[in-house]
Amino acid sequence: MQNYGAKQMADSWRTVRKNTIQIAEEIPAEQYGFQAAPDTMTVAQILAHIATSPYWAEQVHFVERKSALAIPDFGAYFGKSGAMAAALTTKDAIVDSLIAGGESFALQLEAMTAEQLDEMVQLPNASKSRFEMLLGVKEHEMHHRAQLMLVERLLGIVPHITRARQQR
């Protein structure tokens, strides 16, 4: 039986991030201020959020190797991530951050052992494995990337994944 481990997770993460970067590159800089509806993030804000959202997971799983998280921990991590996202104010800065941060995260994922991925982390109302929590980072990015693909449609851009399917 083949296991889905660190190498497969890193490869999958790279694929997801590659697709996000392509969307970021295809949306013109002058459309980065586009907001699909009131009280939603602009294109730039969504992409900056995606670029910086792995920060908390890096801190928890790779830097601090926490075995338990409390509610104040989340506030601190998300506050720092939000400040990092707010500092990304241009298309070039956002794309550069997506590229650099994506590969950095992939390399850290790849270095995880099976034992580390199996470790449990106590959350305020549950307990999850590092594997599940790290997989959630990719799922989060895919959620926001789906939003961006809809935004592309609103801007008159056919998403690259659709174009590739049509060519086949």
Contact (Cβ atoms closer than 8 angstroms) between residue 34 and residue 151: yes
pLDDT at 2 over 70: no
Whole-angstrom distance, CA of residue 42 vs CA of residue 53? 16
Tokens of 150: 């809809």
pLDDT at 1 over 70: no
For the segment 79-100, the average pLDDT, to the nearest whole number, is 97
Task: Enumerate domains of the chain plus CATH numbers.
Answer: 6-167 (1.20.120.450)
In 3D space, the residue among 75, 35, 65 whose CA is nearest the CA of residue 133 turns out to be 65
For 104-148, what is each residue's pLDDT tens digit? 999 999 999 999 999 999 999 999 999 999 999 999 999 999 999
Contact (Cβ atoms closer than 8 angstroms) between residue 153 and residue 159: yes
For 24-69, what is each residue's pLDDT tens digit? 999 999 999 999 999 999 999 999 999 999 999 999 999 999 999 9
Whole-angstrom distance, CA of residue 3 vs CA of residue 143? 25
pTM (global) more than 0.85: yes
- Would you state the pLDDT for residue 158? 93
Contacts of 164 (CB under 8 A, 6+ apart): none
